[in-house]
């Protein structure tokens, strides 16, 4: 890695949404320093900082900021809903506003802070066409040819949603990686296991592509809510219980809105010695 442009270390922030945790680097004032090797080193919970996703803030034309995402295995992620909510909250506080617009691989998104302090983000319309999710050509996304009859939904990244009698009983650590790497998914997939626990109320557990089990997954929660409505299990507005807490999902005409709490835990700086060793 070329560290000449980071002579005095690299500042970062640690945030989380319902335990779905992130390292956030604000690169608006300079060159984006993130490489796959830096993402992997940062994501190591024993030798680095540790995160479920890495988010990088960059400048934007026509929006308040751009947001890029990395997994802790050094691969890129197209979307991360909880990180989007956390960084949007940070940017709203910095700009002195209760709303922001941002650019991601999904295009322009918007976020607002509600009066109760919760942050909502519009994650955009769900992607339901096979080629765009993506899954292999000729496969029906509504009924994937896998045991359990899952649904494929795109939310800027691919998701495979299983509906089960009891999400708590699923061996996510065993089944998740197998489905993630199934040949049906040319770019691999996130995997969700959900069960209905009440009227418009779901319980979901998740295996995230390139990361593993996480306490929450914003895009996965949105994909699960969309899939539940398509299966006739819920309406378009649902509560979803994840390992780290609860998210509100509202599939509206303008996109899928996700609402929940955010936390900015601390600010710190990576040492130059750490950067030089990558």
DSSP label at residue 127 = B
- Determine the Cα–Cα distance for residues 56 and 185; give it in Å rounded to an integer: 26
217 noted as active-site residue: yes
Contact (CB, 8 A) for 22 and 52: yes
Contact (CB, 8 A) for 134 and 127: no
Query: Which of 249, 258, 20 lies closest to 119, judged by CA?
Result: 258
Query: Which of 208, 219, 253 lies closest to 72, judged by CA?
Result: 208
Catalytic residue among 86, 160, 217, 222, which? 217
Per-residue burial over 134-143, b if 16 or more Cβ lie within 10 Å, else e, is bbeeeeebee
Query: Which of 148, 132, 163 lies closest to 238, judged by CA?
Result: 163
160 noted as active-site residue: no
Catalytic residue among 80, 86, 160, 222, which? 80
Give me the active site residues, please: 80, 217
């Amino acid at each position: 890695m070329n560290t000449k442009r980071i002579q005095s270390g690299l500042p970062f922030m640690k945030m989380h949404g319902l335990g779905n945790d992130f390292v956030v680097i604000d690169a608006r004032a300079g060159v984006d320093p993130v490489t796959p090797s830096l993402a992997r080193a940062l994501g190591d919970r024993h030798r680095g900082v540790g995160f479920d996703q890495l988010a990088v803030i960059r400048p934007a034309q026509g929006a308040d900021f751009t947001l890029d995402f990395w997994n802790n295995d050094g691969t890129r992620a197209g979307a991360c809903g909880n990180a989007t909510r956390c960084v949007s909250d940070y940017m709203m506080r910095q700009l002195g506003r209760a709303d922001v617009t941002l650019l991601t691989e999904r295009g322009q998104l918007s976020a607002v802070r509600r009066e109760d302090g919760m942050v909502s983000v519009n994650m955009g319309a769900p992607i339901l066409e096979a080629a765009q999710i993506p899954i292999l050509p000729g496969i029906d996304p509504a009924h994937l040819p896998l045991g359990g009859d899952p649904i494929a939904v795109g939310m800027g990244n691919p998701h495979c949603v299983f509906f089960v009698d009891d999400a708590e009983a699923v061996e996510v650590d065993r089944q998740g990686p197998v489905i993630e790497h199934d040949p049906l998914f040319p770019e691999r997939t996130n995997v969700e296991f959900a069960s209905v626990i009440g009227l418009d109320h779901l319980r979901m557990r998740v295996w995230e592509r390139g990361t593993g089990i996480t306490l929450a997954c914003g895009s996965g929660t949105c994909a699960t809510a969309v899939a539940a409505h398509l299966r006739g299990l819920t309406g378009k507005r649902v509560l979803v219980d994840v390992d780290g807490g609860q998210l509100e999902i509202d599939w509206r005409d303008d996109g899928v809105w996700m609402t929940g709490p955010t936390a900015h835990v601390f600010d710190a700086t990576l040492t130059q010695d750490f950067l030089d060793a990558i």
